[in-house]
Amino acid sequence: MTRGEAMTTTRARITGTGSYAPPKVLTNKDLEKMVETTDEWITTRSGIKQRRITVNEKTSEVAAKAARRALKAAGVLPREIDLVIVGTVTPDNVFPSTACFVQSILGVKSGVPAFDVSAACSGFLYAMDIADKYIKAGISKRALVVGVDIFSRIIDWKDRSTCVLFGDGAGAVVLKPSSGKKGILSSHIYSDGRLWQMLYTTESIPPNPFETKGKSNPECHPYVRMKGNETFKAAVRNMEEACLKVMKLNRLKPKDIGLLIPHQANIRIMNAIKDRLKLSDEQVFSDIEKYGNTSAASIPLALDEAVREKRIKAGDVVLFVSFGGGLTWASAAVRW
């Protein structure tokens, strides 16, 4: 750098958002007919009134619909994308990755790297964190990041403690490099594999014939299992801590936060974080009432709604925070 030349920081900037939720609506009243529950219990314990359910659509197709909307909003063509990362734990197949299917559906060029990230409800923030690093390193100029999950296929529909909580959907963003103040200020991802039994799926890869000793393979299906109460407490604790760290690092006070977009797992979790961070109701975004917990889709879906509802103005600081199976959690601060 020569004397007098302005020092510029390359940041990854979100230049377009998009989302997609399948049209079928499953209300709490519908669930009353399926398991022993009530609309009142679900509403007061979680804040959820309804969720969307996928019918005859693959994860990659749901993801591609959200991605197309994000590309349109960003004014970027699929052939201009040079990186595709999809956060999901409900892929179409074990392999290829959902990202490879999305690449094929959208017509993203051959040779462009496309891969999935498995971090459950933190999948989107994990994927965005990786894309942020690719952009800062100068490797990517136009990255497509998607968070998508179809939990309706891995929920145990007889387990009332989980089946009332989740829904399906996808959200996506397009990231580009930008010099200046706008963009991802910092992004942080965390995990603790020792606590995996708090929230996980049963095994989904069947044993081989040497393991079953010639007997036919037992049914092998990934069903969601969660210790609700423990997960609740860990979510509040870790999400608060992750917010405080990212705020401290970027010297942000509660009044500097334009909007907090937390993972939409439970309105009581979001309210607890709001209170602990001393934020007002207007500073926290929630659409859990309409969609339930959509896992990796929840943050980008909420972000897209917030953008379209004009809840974010140019220059606002948007804080993202997630928590999910793994355990995994993550946070990011973005200047819009």
- Residues forming the active site: 121, 263, 293
Burial tier of 103 (Cβ tally within 10 Å: 0-12, 13-18, 19+): buried
Query: Cα separation of 273 and 179, whole Å?
Result: 32
Q: Does 167 participate in binding ligand UT7 (rule CB under 6 A)?
A: no
Q: How far is the CB of 40 from ligand UT7 (least distance, A)?
A: 9
Contact by Cβ (8 Å): 91, 42: no
Which residue lies nearest ligand UT7, judged by its C-beta? 228
Contact by Cβ (8 Å): 158, 94: no
Among positions 43, 104, 118, 161, the unique one binding ligand UT7 when judged by CB under 6 A: 161
Choice between 160 and 276, CB closer to ligand UT7? 160
Interaction residues for ligand UT7, span 190-209 (CB under 6 A): 199
Phi, psi at 148, each rounded to 5°? -145, 140
Interaction residues for ligand UT7, span 274-333 (CB under 6 A): 293, 323-324
Across the strands, what pairs with 143? 83, 175
Answer left, alpha or beta for residue 71, where phi above 0 means left and psi between -120 and 50 means alpha. alpha
Site map 123..142 versus ligand UT7, x via CB under 6 A? --------------------
Residue 308: how many CB atoms within 10 A of its CB?
14
Interaction residues for ligand UT7, span 40-69 (CB under 6 A): 41, 45-46
Answer left, alpha or beta for residue 258, where phi above 0 means left and psi between -120 and 50 means alpha. alpha
Q: Does 121 participate in binding ligand UT7 (rule CB under 6 A)?
A: yes
Query: Cα separation of 206 and 196, whole Å?
Result: 20
Among positions 164, 257, 261, 334, the unique one binding ligand UT7 when judged by CB under 6 A: 164
Burial tier of 45 (Cβ tally within 10 Å: 0-12, 13-18, 19+): middle
Q: How far is the CB of 93 from ligand UT7 (least distance, A)?
A: 24
In what helix (H) or strand (E) does residue 103 lie, and over which residues does it extend?
helix 98-106
Stretch that binds ligand UT7, among 105-113, 158-166, 251-259, 284-292 (CB under 6 A): 158-166
Stretch that binds ligand UT7, among 37-45, 89-97, 186-194, 313-321 (CB under 6 A): 37-45
For 300, the token pair is 């980008």
Binding residue count for ligand UT7, defined by CB under 6 A = 20
Phi, psi at 49, each rounded to 5°? -115, -30
Q: Does 160 participate in binding ligand UT7 (rule CB under 6 A)?
A: yes
Site map 211..240 versus ligand UT7, x via CB under 6 A? -----------------xx-xx--x-----
Q: How far is the CB of 162 from ligand UT7 (least distance, A)?
A: 7
Stretch that binds ligand UT7, among 156-164, 187-195, 254-262, 302-310 (CB under 6 A): 156-164
Which residues sit at the interface with ligand UT7, rule CB under 6 A? 37, 41, 45-46, 121, 160-161, 164, 199, 228-229, 231-232, 235, 265-266, 269, 293, 323-324
